[in-house]
Chain A
Amino acid sequence: MDGGFCPESESELPFPARRVHRRPALEGVRAMDHPDDLLESFAFGEAPEAGPHVAACPQCSARVELARAVAGWLATSHVAAPPAGLRSRVRTAALAIRPSSSGSFASAYVAEAADLGVLLDSLSPAQWSAPTVDGRSVRDLVRHLTGNDGNVLTDLGVAKPAGERWQDQSDLLLRTVGQSNETLLDRPVRLAGKVPIRRPLREALTQRAFETWIHRDDIRVAVALPPIPPASSHLARILAFGLAMLPAAIQAAGRARAGSVLLDLTGPGGSEHVVRMGTRAPQARPAEPRPEEVRPAESRPEAGWAGQARPEMGRTEVAQAEEAGAAEGAWLAEVRMPAERFGRLMAGRVPVTPAVAVVRGDRSAAFDLLAVAATLGCE
């Protein structure tokens, strides 16, 4: 039988020599202050009053770590199938005290926040000071992310947590969106970026995912780790978010013209997109317009990318390419590149060079699109 705690199976092992535990003179911690009787209880999850001392005392911390490790092993030394009905009872009881989130709108941000959390947990003190791509330290970059997460919380009317820990603020944002309803999801909040723009929370969360991914990879590169793309479904969502803003950004940048460009993003997260080259110019040859595209371009508000009232973007400007339109050559140009590269280009992490994409047709239109796309990142 594998070992339970059965007194009758006493072994003949010799009593191990006791170690002499010296108590070094700790600055600010007198020996008599050690909560010696509570250390194991604290390690087992009780006696929280010992926590502050343990955190400041290497000697007690070492004892706690040892006991905690053993507790972890003991806790998981056996498994037994719980009764069949317990799973649903747990679910019912849990959801009764805290409802589940109502959709997957935050899933990309959840994933990126988790990936960043794993990375930050692994950093050494020296790595926190490492310079990133734009000269800011890792610490400064995390502070920047924290600030932008905090702006969203502020706009939602949620009091920010004390301190500047990214994890605390990210947790609060996740918890807030996890309990959000349609009203909250529609509430405009600041997007990160040089130009103040507000978009509904549901869209802002995708931008938070975008920015968190890009800065997570900035940090990875700074500490000599290879960048890794988001999951394909999350990348697709991030790209759709950026592309929805692109016509207004092209308009605001003074590069608008009639017609569309077919953007063929390949690989994981990729698909074909038709991007209008502005929000005001009429379409050259609209191919199979969708109902929402029938609305005359002139009736739309001014382009908002440069900070005007409310940017018009989204469903009306971007549509999945249709085979018929492509066959008719309805596009000013066709631009083909990997989806991940386009995402990094949007963040300004990939320069717009002639070789960045395969271009057919009007190169001027194609590179205007790419040049403006490269301004869509935060900073």
Chain B
Amino acid sequence: MRSHADDVRLRAQLVAAEEGALTEAYDLHAPSAYALALRITSDPSWAEDAVQEAFVELWRHPERFNPTSGSLRTWLCMLARRRAIDLLRRQSAQRDHLTRLAGQAPVEPTVEEDVVGAAQAKAVRECVRDLPVLYRDAIALAYYYGLSYRQVAVELGVPEGTAKSRLRSGLRLLAERMSAAGYPMDAA
């Protein structure tokens, strides 16, 4: 896991257009961003596009990354997620997200992670696995596919208020379990 100081240093180097910082950021964080984009799109070429655009955006506007709001890895994943969802939306507005969700195989780690990062990632996967499926689906639809409450409600066939409460309860429960596993929210 990289420290806040590492992220601030990389940010400053990126602002100063030091190319080495771009490749360092890529080597550190592309595996996470790619895995996320692949989970969202289920398409390697789209995932590549999403990752590329995330890093290009970071290089273009590194000042927009605020290290006090989260890690550089999280920031890059957020950019890749947004782009991947855009690609997905462009592909099909009428996609059956639940069907996709059911058929989606989790991406298993295929590259060496640092020990601390790997332990946290494993804890996340376990906490997610143990969530009630009602919550898990609501979180997945909102997070991986970028659906609004209304869209989540349509997908799940439940009232909008129910969709919202499932999502929020799921988020809260996940945070509580991560905290119990030794990963408090303020360290996310």
Write the residues of chain A forming the contact surface with B, with a CB cutoff of 8 angstroms.
Answer: 1-11, 13, 15-16, 18-19, 36-37, 40-41, 44-46, 63, 65-83, 86-87, 89-91, 93-95, 97-101, 106-107, 110-111, 113-115, 117-118, 121, 171, 174-175, 177-179
Contacts of B107 in A (CB 8 A): 4, 78-80
Question: Given known contacts A79-B32, A79-B110, A80-B38, is B17 in contact with A2 (CB within 8 Å)?
Answer: no
Contacts of A2 in B (CB 8 A): 106, 108, 122, 125-126, 129
**Besides A97-B60, A178-B17, 16 other A-B contacts (C-beta < 8 A):** A2-B125, A4-B104, A5-B140, A7-B98, A7-B137, A11-B131, A15-B169, A46-B82, A80-B35, A86-B34, A87-B27, A106-B16, A114-B12, A121-B67, A174-B15, A175-B63
Contact residues, B34-51 vs A (CB, 8 A): 34-36, 38-39, 44, 47-48, 51
Contact A70–B35 (Cβ < 8 Å): no
Q: Which of A65, A73, A89, A94 contacts B178 (CB 8 A)?
A: A73
A-B contacts, 19 of them at CB < 8 A, read: A3-B130, A4-B129, A5-B128, A15-B169, A19-B172, A71-B143, A73-B183, A74-B143, A75-B77, A80-B38, A80-B108, A90-B26, A90-B52, A101-B16, A106-B16, A110-B16, A114-B9, A117-B11, A178-B18
Contact A45–B78 (Cβ < 8 Å): yes
Contact B23–A87 (Cβ < 8 Å): yes
Contact B174–A70 (Cβ < 8 Å): yes
A72 and B178 alpha carbons, distance in the complex (Å): 12
Contacts of B70 in A (CB 8 A): 68, 72
Contacts of A45 in B (CB 8 A): 78-79, 81-82
Contacts of B173 in A (CB 8 A): 16
Contact B188–A9 (Cβ < 8 Å): no
A87 and B130 alpha carbons, distance in the complex (Å): 35
B96 at the interface (CB under 8 A from A): no
A186 to chain B, nearest CB (A): 18
Q: Which of A19, A71, A90, A115 contacts B56 (CB 8 A)?
A: A90
Contacts of A83 in B (CB 8 A): 44, 48
Contact B16–A37 (Cβ < 8 Å): no
User: Nearest CB to that of B78 among chain A residues?
Assistant: A45
Contact A79–B18 (Cβ < 8 Å): no
Write the residues of chain B forming the contact surface with A, with a CB cutoff of 8 angstroms.
Answer: 4-5, 8-9, 11-13, 15-19, 22-23, 26-27, 30-32, 34-36, 38-39, 44, 47-48, 51-52, 55-56, 59-60, 63, 67-71, 73-74, 77-79, 81-82, 98, 101-102, 104-111, 113, 117, 120-122, 124-134, 136-137, 139-140, 142-144, 146, 148-149, 164-165, 167-169, 171-175, 178, 183, 185-186, 188
Contact A73–B188 (Cβ < 8 Å): yes
Contacts of B16 in A (CB 8 A): 101, 106, 110, 174-175, 177-178
A67 to chain B, nearest CB (A): 5
Contacts of B73 in A (CB 8 A): 75-76
Contacts of B109 in A (CB 8 A): 78-80
A37 and B95 alpha carbons, distance in the complex (Å): 22
A115 and B169 alpha carbons, distance in the complex (Å): 39
Q: Which of A10, A75, A87, A177 contacts B78 (CB 8 A)?
A: A75
Contact B52–A86 (Cβ < 8 Å): yes
Contact A3–B106 (Cβ < 8 Å): yes
Contact B18–A76 (Cβ < 8 Å): no
A121 and B127 alpha carbons, distance in the complex (Å): 31
Contact B169–A18 (Cβ < 8 Å): yes
Contact B81–A94 (Cβ < 8 Å): no
Contact B35–A94 (Cβ < 8 Å): no
A85 to chain B, nearest CB (A): 9
A73 and B179 alpha carbons, distance in the complex (Å): 12
Contact B130–A13 (Cβ < 8 Å): yes
Contact B165–A18 (Cβ < 8 Å): yes
User: Nearest CB to that of A104 among chain B residues?
Assistant: B18
Contact B169–A16 (Cβ < 8 Å): yes
User: Nearest CB to that of B117 among chain A residues?
Assistant: A76
Q: Which of B55, B82, B121 contacts A77 (CB 8 A)?
A: B121
Question: Given known contacts A11-B132, A78-B39, A78-B109, is B15 in contact with A175 (CB within 8 Å)?
Answer: yes
Contacts of B8 in A (CB 8 A): 114, 117-118, 121
B96 to chain A, nearest CB (A): 13
